Amino acid sequence: METWLSYRLTDLLMFSPAIYVRLFERVNDALWPGHVLLAALSVAMLVLAGSRTHVAHRLAAALLAIAWGWVAWRFFGLYAQINLAAPWFAVLFAGQAVMLLALAAFGPGLALARPQRPRHWLGLGLALWGLALHPIAWLAGGRPLAGTELFAVAPDPTAIATIGLLLMARVPRRGCLPLRGILLALPVAWLSISALTWWALLTA
């Protein structure tokens, strides 16, 4: 027991910061020039979520589900080469994709409300960060353009934007089930894991 307690989080790392950044470069390189289509789908998701038709809201939720599914398959498929826990993270993202598909098929979809409450404004800020400002912040910090973290490509901006969109969305309760809280749980869990990973990388 004392042996296990002697381990630090940094002792569990299997890669360096440079190798981790290289992972994002590989993901982007494999996707290019699909980034153009990705940007178009992201804009389409926002337009659909902000529209007034129920069908559009369902399509918006489906597009968000596709983003989570793509990250589960593509990003974590490569991440598994340097992190043995990556397949479990992929399951987490695939699970979120399934729940968002259920929201599209059986729920209200993704319908954005006008910012009125503090929750809405917080959601707007997080959505903007995940969709646009997150990659800019990394570039400003010295990250090479090829290693930019993008929504629907990298897990962090995808989770951040999703939290923002869900805070802005009209998600009614289903009986005693708090759907918004359920849908927020996995993105928050991932960001906690990511924060611990970056803390370990930067303090190793």
Lowest pLDDT segment from 80-94, 109-123, 127-141: 109-123
Structure-block tokens of residue 203? 């303090």
**Model confidence at 74: pLDDT above 70:** yes
Structure-block tokens of residue 199? 């803390």
Q: Angle, nearest 10°, between helix axes 35-49 and 17-31? A: 80
172, with CB counted inside 10 A (0-12, 13-18, 19+), is: exposed
Strand residues in 26-144 grouped as ranges (E):
none
Residue 163 to residues 6, 24, 82, 179, Cα–Cα distance (Å): 35, 22, 27, 13
101 touches 118 (CB < 8 A): no
Q: Counting runs of H as helices and runs of E as strands, what totals does the chain give?
A: 10, 0
Q: Which amino acid is at 156?
A: D
pLDDT in tens, 23-69: 999 999 988 888 888 889 999 999 999 998 999 999 999 999 999 99
Lowest pLDDT segment from 11-15, 32-36, 200-204: 11-15
Cα torsion angle, 97, 59, 125, 25, sign: positive
Q: From CA 145, how far away is CA 137, in angstroms rounded?
A: 11
- The pLDDT, as a whole number, for residue 141 is 84
**Model confidence at 177: pLDDT above 80:** no
pLDDT in tens, 90-116: 999 999 999 999 999 988 899 988 777
